[in-house]
A and B are shown apart, each in its own frame.
Chain A
């Protein structure tokens, strides 16, 4: 039986992995540090408060590289640690990453070995969204994802280490304007993904409304986020399928 043709975004195209692409990804990561550093500092300070050493804080930030799950695990942290509880915390928060890797197949399908599995290790929400935007703009260098990932990983680990080292010095009040940097980076990434009102407005509104409704129903994280994301994505996919059929 003949194989069905690949969808457009998985169809063969010349995807590269160059040092120029890595540098471009690093360059795009610089402003994101403004959003990442305050979050990393907070994780470092909390790690210190929970009794983790600097080496343990660096190890956690380097291996896990996922702020929300680290915060949740630290919230549940006991001495000695409940390994099952913290692993479950990581699973519950990071399960949202399962579709992210799959959605990057337009580049990842063309990579092998450390370039592929290393890029996946370094992928976070920011690098995912910006790589999609880069691909939509015609970017074909998968080094972008890797460079962006390495740079944000270094920034994250350094910020968590600095937070641990500085301890109470960076104990800013929770409403300090600096903490808005994380939300601001989400807002900016969302704006960067804008294509047009007809294409984007209905899925975005549905995603936001579904997430808020799930939160109002007191469903536990990350259910509101996942429910919103998939509701919006399903509407976007339906719109796209209908437009192609017309």
Chain B
């Protein structure tokens, strides 16, 4: 369980920078009254962020990943269960790999 000084400093620097990213945007917006369009932009950010995430993730994987996403999404639409949807997605991926995809 060794902690070297130089490594610890590097990790601390990463941690500080990351926390500033997490808290900085909120701290600034708390102090400043934002224009309505910026409020609407922030309100509409989550889904496009994940749409971009999913498209980038699938573009870097093979066809099996895109196909496995379909039952994964369908299970959540039908039953609204996060865990089950993820398990079905991984199982579909395993089945597609087994089938040679």
Interface residues of A (CB under 8 A from B): 4, 7, 9-10, 28, 30-32, 34-35, 52-56, 59-60, 63-66, 69-70, 73, 80-84, 86-87, 89-91, 94-105, 108-109, 117, 120-121, 123, 125, 128-129, 132-133, 175, 177-178, 180-194, 200, 203-212, 215, 224-225, 227-237, 240-241
Kindly identify which residue among B2, B12, B69 contacts A183, using a CB–CB cutoff of 8 Å: B69
**Bound CA span A84–B9, Å:** 10
Taking A86-B14, A209-B55 as given, write out 17 further A-B residue pairs in contact, using a Cβ cutoff of 8 Å, ordered by the A residue number: A9-B39, A34-B83, A63-B12, A80-B6, A81-B7, A97-B22, A104-B26, A105-B42, A108-B26, A120-B23, A120-B26, A121-B23, A183-B57, A204-B48, A224-B52, A232-B51, A241-B40
**Bound CA span A225–B51, Å:** 9
Q: Is the interface of B mostly helix, strand, loop or mixed?
A: helix
Interface residues of B (CB under 8 A from A): 1-4, 6-19, 21-30, 33, 36-37, 39-59, 61-62, 65, 68-69, 72-73, 76-77, 80-87, 89-91, 93-94, 97
CB-based A-B contact count at 8 angstroms? 299
Assess A233 versus B45: contact at CB under 8 Å? Given A59-B3, A86-B14.
yes
